[in-house]
Chains A and B, each alone.
Chain A
């Protein structure tokens, strides 16, 4: 049999249900491989001992009716896990041990999943390369000294390196889809309101969504079915009828209309991205879809809008880190002095930068010029999509304007780093579901992804198109295990 760690989630579940392998064997395999992969720096906190214990307990009293029977899963360290340290990649939460569980992770444990560990990420999910983490860079398993994308960079690296069968990330401006694209994996950001935000360390509340990351589309459908739920504990959770995403998954997309937005052909886009996109259009046609040219006229305003809305919300959300109730405290002569020193020492440069931008755009005299203006442009961006969806069922674009870059290449230039999210950010602003699937490679053999964007709550169509195209693309991730000791 192929190695356990290279099996898909679907195959693992099948093998466990047929009693060909035990949960404990699966846990041991992933833990063993994770132990040999420290060089990737994918984990912030390991939960290996506990995971082995819980897998034994599962094997002693197995329940094969569960959707994730005894499956070990590592998750992004932005999800609060009861009694397991949760850092959000920040020094300010270095010693934080939650006394409650996020709804999304609770849903996974309820279906038989077992926590393998907490995965590295950009500090408070602010970054596109995992370089802003207090716990250091993460290596992309594709090649040495390459970023794994971000902010869910530990998640994408652990997944591509077979350290976890599937994982979950969060996506505020592309933090699931961009790292998936950089590592040759699949990442889905659901519709805003599909997965509960309860217990997820907040970044920008009107944009944050949790979602699955996996080696193939089918696995994402299985995981989405588990994590998506209506939750009273999240005031923006939406009570809609959720599909049985995995059993309703089909490759029959005949007659679906797929839009190609001309505004995504941005200045300076590398030839290889343009080629990949054209290839994607051909694949979609081969799958039976009808291709329609569309226009999303306000696309170029999405990033500037995002860099007002997200920092503004972040500056409010991060006001809670004051050194009083939890997290780091630096000593100060007065209460104010203590606040200022704690926040100065506890937050990293990018987080401070964003808090400053957010505080500025919300400050007296500037609110209308920046925040209100951005909210109005956000309306225009959403209307672009509404109008496009009168004509099409989904939209096909590249996931990112480039493949993975070298560690350090963009870390001194915030704006060039932000440009990485140019194709993913509009989807968050409009609250839509979007998936990135691996679709080819660049001249260095680094993976490139295509993004499929759907109508609100229509994850099923997004998954079906991705599932159908995935078969035609037939992408194989080449990983040489160069980091193994």
Chain B
């Protein structure tokens, strides 16, 4: 299997990363050599194997539905690149 330029561009759209043409070609080459290496897994038959989703054998803990933080609005907004009073500001979304 090879990953072509069209696929790389589609994936970069999904990943929300803009790509220049030249970089996309390099990336396709890199991805192909990495996937060549990954294909090794196909040597193994795994039909009846349970996937390992979490190494920590724990059930998620419940907690009381109670507010535990004070008003941290300022802290949350502190690192935002652009804000307006109590809001994050982004480029216009609705026409």
Contact B15 A343 (CB under 8 A): yes
**A292, CB-defined interface residue at 8 Å:** no
**A283, CB-defined interface residue at 8 Å:** no
Our pick among B11, B35, B38 for the contact of A363 (Cβ within 8 Å) is B11
Residues of chain B within 8 A (CB-CB) of A344 are 17-19
The minimal Cβ–Cβ distance linking B42 to chain A, given in whole angstroms, is 8
**B31, CB-defined interface residue at 8 Å:** yes
Contact B56 A356 (CB under 8 A): no
Contact A415 B50 (CB under 8 A): no
**A4, CB-defined interface residue at 8 Å:** no
The minimal Cβ–Cβ distance linking A310 to chain B, given in whole angstroms, is 12
A99-B78, A343-B17 known, 16 other contacts, Cβ within 8 Å: A100-B75, A232-B63, A304-B39, A304-B40, A305-B41, A325-B76, A325-B79, A325-B80, A329-B82, A334-B92, A343-B15, A356-B11, A356-B31, A376-B52, A380-B49, A415-B34
CA distance A332 to B81 in the complex (A): 13
**Binary CB contact string for chain B from 55 to 95 against chain A (1 if under 8 A, 0 otherwise):** 11010110100000000100110111110000010111100
Our pick among A304, A333, A338, A431 for the contact of B90 (Cβ within 8 Å) is A338
CA distance A328 to B78 in the complex (A): 13
A310-362 interface with B by 8 A CB criterion: 315, 319, 322-329, 332-341, 343-344, 347, 352-353, 355-357, 359-360
- Chain B residue with minimal CB distance to A341? B18
Contact B12 A356 (CB under 8 A): yes
With contacts A232-B63, A325-B88, A375-B51 taken as known, whether A414 is within 8 angstroms of B82 at the C-beta atoms is no
**Binary CB contact string for chain B from 21 to 50 against chain A (1 if under 8 A, 0 otherwise):** 000000100110111011111111010011
Please report whether the interface of chain B is mostly helix, strand, loop or mixed according to DSSP: loop
The minimal Cβ–Cβ distance linking B82 to chain A, given in whole angstroms, is 7
**A308, CB-defined interface residue at 8 Å:** yes
Residues of chain A within 8 A (CB-CB) of B46 are 373, 376-377, 380
Please report whether the interface of chain A is mostly helix, strand, loop or mixed according to DSSP: helix
Residues of chain A within 8 A (CB-CB) of B50 are 376, 379
Residues of chain A within 8 A (CB-CB) of B40 are 300-301, 304
The minimal Cβ–Cβ distance linking B79 to chain A, given in whole angstroms, is 4
CA distance A340 to B91 in the complex (A): 13
CA distance A72 to B45 in the complex (A): 52
**B5, CB-defined interface residue at 8 Å:** no
Interface size on B, as a range, is 35 or more
Our pick among A238, A334, A353 for the contact of B27 (Cβ within 8 Å) is A353
CA distance A355 to B16 in the complex (A): 10
- Chain B residue with minimal CB distance to A428? B55
Interface size on A, as a range, is 35 or more
CA distance A87 to B33 in the complex (A): 30
Would you list the 3 A-B pairs with minimal beta carbon distance, nearest first?
A431-B55, A375-B51, A326-B79
The minimal Cβ–Cβ distance linking B2 to chain A, given in whole angstroms, is 13
Residues of chain B within 8 A (CB-CB) of A343 are 15-18
With contacts A235-B60, A236-B58 taken as known, whether A360 is within 8 angstroms of B17 at the C-beta atoms is no
With contacts A356-B11, A356-B12, A376-B46 taken as known, whether A236 is within 8 angstroms of B34 at the C-beta atoms is no
Contact B81 A329 (CB under 8 A): yes
Contact B11 A377 (CB under 8 A): no
**A193, CB-defined interface residue at 8 Å:** yes
The minimal Cβ–Cβ distance linking B67 to chain A, given in whole angstroms, is 15
CA distance A353 to B32 in the complex (A): 11
With contacts A327-B79, A378-B52 taken as known, whether A322 is within 8 angstroms of B37 at the C-beta atoms is no
With contacts A340-B17, A343-B15 taken as known, whether A193 is within 8 angstroms of B41 at the C-beta atoms is no
Contact B51 A379 (CB under 8 A): yes
Our pick among B15, B30, B38 for the contact of A370 (Cβ within 8 Å) is B38
**A198, CB-defined interface residue at 8 Å:** no
With contacts A335-B93, A375-B51 taken as known, whether A193 is within 8 angstroms of B82 at the C-beta atoms is no
With contacts A329-B81, A375-B51, A379-B49 taken as known, whether A337 is within 8 angstroms of B31 at the C-beta atoms is no
With contacts A347-B17, A360-B11, A415-B33 taken as known, whether A375 is within 8 angstroms of B53 at the C-beta atoms is yes
Residues of chain A within 8 A (CB-CB) of B31 are 353, 356-357, 360
Contact B11 A430 (CB under 8 A): no
14 residue pairs bridging A and B, Cβ less than 8 Å apart = A95-B79, A206-B54, A301-B40, A303-B37, A308-B41, A334-B92, A338-B91, A344-B18, A360-B11, A375-B51, A376-B46, A377-B41, A377-B46, A414-B30
The minimal Cβ–Cβ distance linking A173 to chain B, given in whole angstroms, is 14
Our pick among A95, A305, A336 for the contact of B16 (Cβ within 8 Å) is A336
The minimal Cβ–Cβ distance linking B48 to chain A, given in whole angstroms, is 9
With contacts A232-B61, A327-B81 taken as known, whether A414 is within 8 angstroms of B34 at the C-beta atoms is yes
**A97, CB-defined interface residue at 8 Å:** yes
Contact B91 A337 (CB under 8 A): yes
